[in-house]
Chains A and B, each alone.
Chain A
């Protein structure tokens, strides 16, 4: 069959055809083919002549088979594009054109097949299609429009999006000149004009964020970029895009405003504020916090944890609190913390820690707010002590006023009564008796007034002058003065206080205090026991404590304790007891910022402890 084919003699010619060409007989066998064809399908060096195309290509599409059959029938089917995987299994696209093959007698003896590798064309078409799609979609979503200017035709073309951004009517024709007019006068218009000029003259591209005023008068923010186009080094036009970024800019501005507001607020609050991540590392710290930690820049604290900032024990405590708050998700509110500075001063804080919870409900860190309340604490303390001083003074004053009024009243009541009697009394003896009583009463009144005056003097001498005195020296002076009484009572005074003890006192007060307590010990001695008075010294905090112990009657302090140092309180029914001595003693020692206390047991004796303030 092949031998009978008349073209065989032209085999040499066909082999050299520049286009991939194959002659296929009705049995689908390749009779002749150009080298180009063999090359395109990778048959070079192989025995492909006389082989069936089914054998050569494996499978072929049904469409293609039908196409060949149509040729055998004398028809001219349309060209087909088929995909064909090559040796390296890359897809290649071929356009097949099949026509009937006639012999010299015009009989159809097969089909002539011409193929053209259109892989690049197909791929390009596909790429363009993809690009067009992407451009359209990106344009839609990103509000991006593109335009082009062709210099040769002075033609400006742009997509629909550009028209939408500029808000122009359908019949408005945009050109390179009027497009510039949409840009806001001033910076924006100058910038775009310069950009186009530079692109034209210096081949520079541009990318700017500018403002436009649309045809409807709306102000918009746009991102514009573009570049000049060149063909063989010759300027032919411009291409560019315009993106409407108004929403973005506005959102960004709003975010910026909010951030600025928040930052201003946080930095100017008189509170220390910080944010920590789950590792307790600082993400934010406001001015107060930085000031407190003595750090200048916020960046020097970011990423640091409390172990970098505080001593180990403090940091550990803080970290445990952080963990507790973050695990429990329960804020720790207004916890009072105190911290001792290296210089010994104590700072008190009011601290709150609030867990930060992310969108998924997980803790992302915490916000800490601290306030230094040391000053308030100090004020509070001062206030408390002031209140205590005031209330004690007030109490003293009321007590004093009460006593004064009571004593003066009792005297005046007596005067009134006695004078009343005197007016009606006719008996001379009785009148003399009443007169004596009046004289007596008057004497007592004078005495009372004198005593009261002394007490007032102690309490009102605001700047009493204290001096350092040797205790034993003062004691000896007192003992010398009361020597007669001591001898009469056969008393022994033992001072265990060493000679080098000095105390800070008002000398007259000390003298009075010692006299009072020592003579009291004599007054309230046991009738049949010689008094022994023992003095000793002790140091408690800021006080030098002188204790004076006796072996006298003693007193039931459970019963009289609160009244012991009261005014006009007497306890033993002694006729010479006026109930003033201990009251004055107490007042004098308190005026020296000291205090006095007593212990006593009935039948054993009493001990008075005098606290002399060393400091003030």
Chain B
């Protein structure tokens, strides 16, 4: 079974969080899974971690539509942070709008982090693939 140190789930929908967590625990061994209700909360935590120089998450599941700070606003701020580590960012959204897909592509070209666009519902196979790629 693959092993992952730290995972962030940024989503305001409790059902999606439940689903991701349920699949994750069945396909990989995860040391820490952190939940955030919006982009701002996740960003604040990451900023703290950068200052503390603690281990940043290996994998972030990111929703687009969230209050206060949505997924795109989070991305904009996140790629500006001085992070050398290559973080795997999985956008998980119910949007199938080409505009959002293009936006994701654009972020891909702007950062050294991995950006992957996933449409909901997220399946076991998707998460197996994601975790396998970043297994420690």
Q: Report the Cα distance A24→B37, complex, angstroms.
A: 158
A572 close to B15 (CB less than 8 A) = no
A6 CB–B CB distance under 8 Å: no
Given A440-B15, A570-B67, 8 more A-B residue pairs with CB atoms under 8 Å apart are: A406-B95, A409-B94, A416-B121, A417-B19, A417-B122, A418-B19, A571-B68, A573-B37
Query: Which residue on B lies nearest to A579, using beta carbons?
Result: B67
Task: Please give the residue numbers on chain B whose beta carbons come within 8 Å of chain A beta carbons, in ascending order.
Answer: 13, 15-16, 18-19, 22, 37-38, 65, 67-68, 94-97, 119-123
Q: Report the Cα distance A417→B16, complex, angstroms.
A: 9
Q: Which residues of A contact B65 (CB under 8 A)?
A: 406, 410, 568
Q: Report the Cα distance A441→B15, complex, angstroms.
A: 8
State the 9 A-B residue pairs at the shortest beta-carbon distance, nearest first.
A413-B120, A570-B67, A410-B94, A409-B94, A417-B121, A413-B121, A416-B121, A414-B15, A417-B19
Query: Which residue on B lies nearest to A430, using beta carbons?
Result: B22
Chain A 432-447 near chain B by CB (<8 Å), digits 1 or 0? 0000010011000000
A409 close to B67 (CB less than 8 A) = no
A414 close to B16 (CB less than 8 A) = yes
Query: Which residue on B lies nearest to A559, using beta carbons?
Result: B73
Point out the residue from A402, A409, A414, A573 that lies within 8 Å of B13, measured CB to CB: A414
Rounded to whole Å, the gap between the CB of A432 and the closest CB of chain B is: 13
21 contacts between A and B (CB under 8 A): A402-B97, A405-B97, A406-B95, A406-B97, A409-B94, A409-B95, A410-B13, A413-B94, A413-B119, A413-B121, A414-B16, A414-B120, A417-B19, A417-B121, A418-B15, A420-B123, A421-B19, A568-B65, A571-B67, A573-B37, A579-B67
Q: Report the Cα distance A501→B101, complex, angstroms.
A: 51
B97 close to A414 (CB less than 8 A) = no
A569 close to B19 (CB less than 8 A) = no
Rounded to whole Å, the gap between the CB of B97 and the closest CB of chain A is: 6
Q: Which of A62-120 contact B (CB under 8 A)?
A: none
A437 close to B96 (CB less than 8 A) = no
Q: Which residues of A contact B22 (CB under 8 A)?
A: 421
Interface centre among B37, B97, B120, B122 (most CB of A within 10 A): B120
Q: Which residues of B contact A571 (CB under 8 A)?
A: 67-68
A577 CB–B CB distance under 8 Å: yes
Rounded to whole Å, the gap between the CB of B68 and the closest CB of chain A is: 5
B121 close to A420 (CB less than 8 A) = yes
Q: Report the Cα distance A469→B19, complex, angstroms.
A: 52
Q: Which residues of B contact A413 (CB under 8 A)?
A: 16, 94, 119-121
Query: Which residue on B lies nearest to A403, using beta carbons?
Result: B65
Q: Which residues of B contact A569 (CB under 8 A)?
A: 67
A573 close to B94 (CB less than 8 A) = no
Query: Which residue on A lies nearest to B96, using beta carbons?
Result: A409
Q: Which residues of A contact B68 (CB under 8 A)?
A: 570-573
Q: Report the Cα distance A571→B122, complex, angstroms.
A: 27
B38 close to A573 (CB less than 8 A) = yes
Q: Which residues of A contact B119 (CB under 8 A)?
A: 413
Chain A 549-580 near chain B by CB (<8 Å), digits 1 or 0? 00000000000000000001111110001010
Rounded to whole Å, the gap between the CB of B45 and the closest CB of chain A is: 15
Q: Report the Cα distance A413→B121, complex, angstroms.
A: 4
Query: Which residue on A lies nearest to B63, using beta carbons?
Result: A410
Q: Which residues of A contact B120 (CB under 8 A)?
A: 409-410, 413-414, 417
Query: Which residue on A lies nearest to B68, using beta carbons?
Result: A573
Q: Report the Cα distance A74→B15, complex, angstroms.
A: 165
Interface centre among A413, A571, A572 (most CB of B within 10 A): A413
Rounded to whole Å, the gap between the CB of B12 and the closest CB of chain A is: 9
B18 close to A437 (CB less than 8 A) = yes
